[in-house]
Structure 1
Amino acid sequence: MSKDDALDDSDPNAVERLTDVHFVGPATAEVLARAEFDATGIPDKTVSYQMLMDAGVNPGVATRLRKKHSLPWSFGGEEENDDSLERRSEKVRGLQDGERAWVAASNGDWEDAEPETATTGGDWTPTGDDSSPVQASTDGSGAAEAAEAAWRERSRPDPVTDVPGVDERIAEILANGGITSVRSLATADPEHVADSLELDAELVAEWRDAARDLA
């Protein structure tokens, strides 16, 4: 196929047409021209943020396009949204290992991540079965297994959904800004968070103040 054919106006993803979309430069247009969807539909919101990422668009550019054109995160169902949240929790920069584990646990994966904790004799179990030889204590005393379990319990970050007014949907949005715990919300800059995630600054400030009361 010739260069002229590649830029034919009959092709909805022709590079020249794609660069007419705000925030789509030549390099991004080249990427979108190879996409399996009609990228000229970005202004009409027929393209999601996840579609841009899957097509190989630079994450920073994809974020700017999402904000500028108010694109949806994805067009998938609840199951896909749950998977996307789990993937984003692994990708958010600045998360500590404990926070990543807690985000995974909040999605129902805690037992899958550590299956032996509920089945191996002598280990701490989440059911608190009195028949277990070793019981975890909150003061860290006892056998090594119990002490480690107690330490994990104390150091586990409180989920951001503990903050009044922050539900699962808001928690998913905040996770994209690296805010996944009460502590991280308590130290956040409301104006920066609001600008980055397109949230109301006064509302974010209220959440921040409530998080400080809990931290």
Structure 2
Amino acid sequence: MAPDDAQDALRELQFVGPETAGVLAAANVTREDVTGKRVSHAQLVEYGVNPGVAARIRREHSLQWSFEGGEDLDQRAEQVRGLEDDERQWVAASYGDDAEADGSGDATAEEADWQAAAAAGGGEPAAAEPPGRTDDTEEEDGEAAWREDSWPNGRVDESFEREEAAWREASEPTPVTALDAVDADAAAMLSRAGITSVRSLATAHVDQVADSLGVSSDRVRALRDAAREHAQ
């Protein structure tokens, strides 16, 4: 098989990107070697595959850690769990940015944290600590304090509700259709320029609006002047 074909075949494997495929092809490792479990995790690392990527490939294809003899089940369990501190640090480092440098899968820092937590506990990581105070919590507290300062006993009576309703009504933008000079056609025309309120029409740039709508400046100026008179 030609080198390029061999790399293309390798890249069909999960977690094998261009750089990893090149490393494996240079070591004469084929796609069938991986799917047939004829290569181990230790060999992948020895050939130059990033350790984090090698770990992902090992899990995906159920590869052995090593073909070396003399490893009993307890020793293999230590390898899988990463009970030694140095190994846990190595796993976390391997799953950092370098593991994604060649596009070889989605090894992430979150998975590194999961690996480290699982290794420390010998199993699934414990549930996360309850989240601390957030910006939303602080904002809610600030609003509560504002209510205490602004309203007697922190209560909202009918007078405050009426004042708030009046403030909201006064704050709502007045539509351009409130102007006698603006009929339905003129309102539709202005909306194409993003002008829907009396305030935005009163502050509009006549020439720019006229150019954007393809109408005369005199027509836009007349509408703008009507908005300004209404605002006075």
Q: What TM-score do the two structures reach when normalised by structure 1?
A: 0.37
Higher relative contact order (CA 8 A, sep 6+): 2
More helix by share: 2
Structure exhibiting the larger radius of gyration computed from Cα positions: 2
Q: What TM-score do the two structures reach when normalised by structure 2?
A: 0.35
